[in-house]
A and B are shown apart, each in its own frame.
Chain A
Amino acid sequence: MTILKAEGPHVWDGEGRRLIDFSSQMVNTNIGHSHPKVIAAIQDQAARIATIAPAHVNDARSEAARLVTDLAPGDLNHVFFTNGGADAVEHAIRMARLHTGRHKVLSAYRSYHGGTDLAVNVTGDARRFDADRSAAGVVRFMPPYPYRSYFHAEDEQQETERALEHLEQVIQLEGAQNIAALILESVPGTAGIYVPPAGYMAGVRELTRKYGVMFIADEVMVGFGRTGEWFAVDHWDVEPDLMTFAKGVNSGYVPLGGVAISDAVYGTFAERVYQGGLTYSGHPLACAAAVATINAMKDEGMVDNAARVGREVIGPRLRDIKDRHPSVGDVRGLGAFWAVELVRDRTTKEPLAAYGGSSPEMNELIGECKRLGLLPFANYNRIHVAPPLNTPDEVLREGLDILEQALEVADRHAAG
C-alpha cells in the first residue's frame, strides 16, 4: 500500500482515501503521525548537530537517557542506545552473558524479539523458522495463554501456577548454572497480545532471582505507554535486570532503541570494556525526537489516556463485539493494545488462519477493513487494535464500528 500522507491517527492511501490507523504502523507511532513538537525538535537538532560519533557527548542523548532512566522501574539507571529493538535484544543478552559468565537464554514460545540473528533465535513464534539454529544457546518454555492453555488450566490462577511450575522445571532441567538470562515480552505483542495472568510476572521475577538468572524485560513494543503504564512491567511492579525498548521511545520518527541497565550489570563494566559499538548509538536526531516525544506524552497525558480508552472505549466495545460475532473466539488486551482472535468454531477454537500463516478468509477480512476505511494490524488469525495513544474517542469509535461491520465477512466462515 502506498501512503501519500500521514497525520494524527490517520493515513491516506495511494488513491487518496483516508484510513484510521489502528496499527500505529509497526505499533510504534504512539503519539500519532506528524506531531508538531517532535517534527520541530528534529528540525532544530538537524540544524545544530545532525550527527556525531557515539564517543562524544551530545545533549540530546544525555537528556534522553535522563528521561528514560527517570521513567524506568527499579535501578535501571543507565542506557545503552541502539538503532532499534532487535539490536537492543542482542546487546541485552550479550551484557547478561558477560555479567553472569553463563551462556544459555530462556525465552517463551509465542514471542517475537526481532529480526537479527540472535534476536530471531530467541523468538518463539514461526517467524524464526527459516533462521532457526540450535547453536544460539536458546531454550524455550511454554508461556501462559489462558484461551488455549498448554497446562489444561481451568482458570487464570491455575494457569499462573502451572506455567510457573513448568518454568521452574525448565530452569532446573537445563541447569541454572548455565542460564544467563530469561527474556520475556512484558505483554507479548505481534505474537498475540497475551496479557500475563495475575501473579505470573511476579513469579518469573522471583524464579529468576532464586536461580541468579538475569531477567530481561522486552518492552520494545509495549514500552512508552502502549498498555496504559509507561512500561508494561509497571502493571505488576516488576523490576527487571535489563529492559529493552525502541518504537514508542520516539514514536518511530527516527530509528532508535536501547537497553536500560541495572546498577549491578553496569557495575560489571565499570572497569571492563564493553565490546559492542554502534556508529549511530545515541544519534542526535533520534534522541532529540525521544526527548520531544516523552515530553509531549507527559504534557498531553497520553499514558493515562491509553489506560482510559482501554478501560472505557476499546475493551468494552471489543467484548460486545465478541458477544455478537461467532468468528471472534477471544478478545484480550490492556490500554491501547488489544487482540481479536478469530476462529472458525468457538467450541473447537479452530483458528481462521493456521499458526504461522494466513488464509483467504483473513485476507478477505483485512481487505474489507481497508475498503471501509480502517488500517488494521493483522497477524495469522488475529486482528490487533493498536491505535496511537492520543486517538480521539470519536475516531476510536468510528474505527471500532468499521471493524465490527468488517467482521461480518469473517462470520460467514464461522460456525454458529
Chain B
Amino acid sequence: MTIQPVTPDPAITEDLIAEGRKAFDLDRAHVFHSWSAQQKITR
C-alpha cells in the first residue's frame, strides 16, 4: 500500500489555522531564532 500525503485534520478549525498564520507573521516580525539566518526561515 502506498502511503498518501497527510491531509488536514478536520478537528483543526479554520479559525485555529488563521491564528497559526497570525502567530507565524508575528514570529517573523519579532522573534529571533538561533541556528538559522533570520531571513531564510520559512514555513
Contacts and interface: CB of A to CB of B under 8 A. Distances in A.
Indicate, yes or no, whether A interacts with B. Answer: yes
Interface of A: 54-55, 57-59, 61-63, 65-66, 68-69, 77-81, 259, 261, 266, 269-278, 281-282
A62 B36 CA distance: 17
Nearest to A91: B34
Contacts of B29: 66, 77
A79 B31 contact: yes
A93 to B, nearest CB: 15
Interface residues of B, number: 19
A112 to B, nearest CB: 25
A62 B24 CA distance: 7
Most buried by A among B19, B34, B36: B34
Nearest to A70: B30
A54 B38 CA distance: 14
B30 A57 contact: no
Interface of B: 19-20, 22-24, 26-27, 29-40
Contacts of B26: 62-63, 65-66
A61 B27 contact: yes
A275 B24 contact: no
The 8 A-B residue pairs whose C-beta atoms are closest, nearest first, are A62-B26, A65-B30, A59-B23, A80-B32, A277-B34, A62-B23, A57-B27, A270-B39
B34 A54 contact: yes
Contact of B34 (A57, A77, A274): A274
Contact of B30 (A54, A58, A69, A272): A69
B39 A271 contact: yes
Contacts of A80: 31-34
Given A59-B23, A65-B27, A54 B39 contact: no
Contacts of A282: 31
Contact of B37 (A63, A269, A277, A278): A269
Given A57-B24, A59-B20, A271-B40, A65 B34 contact: no
B31 A273 contact: no
A65 B30 CA distance: 6
Contacts of A272: 37
A80 B24 CA distance: 15
Given A65-B31, A269-B32, A57 B20 contact: yes
Given A58-B23, A59-B23, A66-B26, A274 B35 contact: yes
